[in-house]
Copies of this chain bind each other. A is one copy, B any other.
Amino acid sequence: MDETTERRGPTARLLLSAPDRPGLVAAVAEFIYRHGGDVTAADQHTDEEEAMFFQRVEFRLDGFGLSRPELEEAFAQVAVPLDMTWAVRYSDEPRRVAVLVSRQPHCLVDLLGRWYAHELPGQPVLVASNHSDHAGLATSFGLPYHHLPVTKDTRLAQEGQLLELLSGAGVELVVLARYMQILSPQVIDAYPSKVINIHHSFLPAFSGGQPYHQAHARGVKLIGATAHYATAELDQGPIIEQDTARATHRDGVADLARIGRDLETVVLARAVRLHLTDRVLVHGRKTVVF
């Protein structure tokens, strides 16, 4: 049960996009009002260049006149004539999350700590890695740890195992917590806008390998981190969250990496929270983050 649910009872979160036209806001507001819904949060955005409308509405289910299946059926009646793409999620149905990691544990241990402290919604169900290093850590937080070694030649087979694992555990979100393998389209396509990666630079600066080396060579005064949905094109997926931190001439590559690890954990945790509270809508190469 997440923090919203604790405070307000269960809520429904309606996320929608549609070609912009007058009456969209009124149609949604009227639907919720008619069935006795109590709106607790509403955000909307019109992308004028693309003539697209985006909305997130959250409303209490206590007192709402329809059951969950009825809600979805009834809203479809509203959505279809207005060409809406939409989804509804419920605050008391936590998403099942898998974390993938390689050798560097800072993002993994940060996420596990946040779940332990009830700082993050969602329900972690497994940790998988191409290395065995952090099996003990995962287990001590009560999670199964799957060691899936990989070489160039075994990638497809290893990803097959991974996909089976994810599907078997009913995983709905995959978090790449410094997983240093490039996932092939078979994995990416199975989880569209459901794989979050953390890249250790302020994209699009320093995409690709060794961004801290690149940053050091250029003498930048800030370093960054970027959380984005993984897509087939490396480091090009829709950006969810970014941040930067100060660096100086004193900071060698190892210092940049250390400062950067703090950024990475924070930016990744924010992105995971935004995703799991249904605040991110993807449109083309970009996101709307409410």
Min CB gap A104→B, angstroms:
8
> What residue in chain B is nearest A255 (Cβ atoms)?
B3
Let me know if A249 is at the binding interface, CB within 8 A.
yes
Q: Is the CB of B106 within 8 A of A119?
A: yes
Min CB gap A205→B, angstroms:
4
Q: Mark A39-68, 1 if CB is under 8 A from B, else 0.
A: 111111111110000100000000000000
Let me know if A209 is at the binding interface, CB within 8 A.
no
Q: Mark A103-137, 1 if CB is under 8 A from B, else 0.
A: 01110011011101101000000000000000001
**A30-B22 CB under 8 A given contacts A218-B204, A224-B222:** no
Among A10-26, those with CB < 8 Å from B are: 22-23, 25-26
CA distance in complex: A104, B113 (Å): 12
| Copies of this polypeptide in the complex | 4
Min CB gap A14→B, angstroms:
13
Among A233-290, those with CB < 8 Å from B are: 238-244, 248-250, 252, 254, 258, 261-262, 266, 285-289
Q: Is the CB of A249 within 8 A of B117?
A: no
Contacts of A23 in B (CB 8 A): 33
Contacts of A36 in B (CB 8 A): 22
Min CB gap A222→B, angstroms:
5
Q: Is the CB of A252 within 8 A of B205?
A: no
Let me know if A232 is at the binding interface, CB within 8 A.
no
Let me know if A220 is at the binding interface, CB within 8 A.
yes
CA distance in complex: A122, B26 (Å): 32
Let me know if A29 is at the binding interface, CB within 8 A.
yes
A-to-B contact residues, CB < 8 Å: 3, 7, 22-23, 25-26, 29-30, 32-33, 36-49, 54, 104-106, 109-110, 112-114, 116-117, 119, 137, 140-141, 202-206, 217-222, 224, 238-244, 248-250, 252, 254, 258, 261-262, 266, 285-289
Given contacts A45-B249, A202-B222, A221-B239, 17 further A-B contacts (CB under 8 A): A22-B38, A25-B29, A40-B46, A105-B117, A106-B114, A109-B116, A116-B137, A119-B258, A202-B202, A203-B220, A204-B218, A204-B220, A219-B239, A219-B287, A222-B224, A222-B242, A222-B244
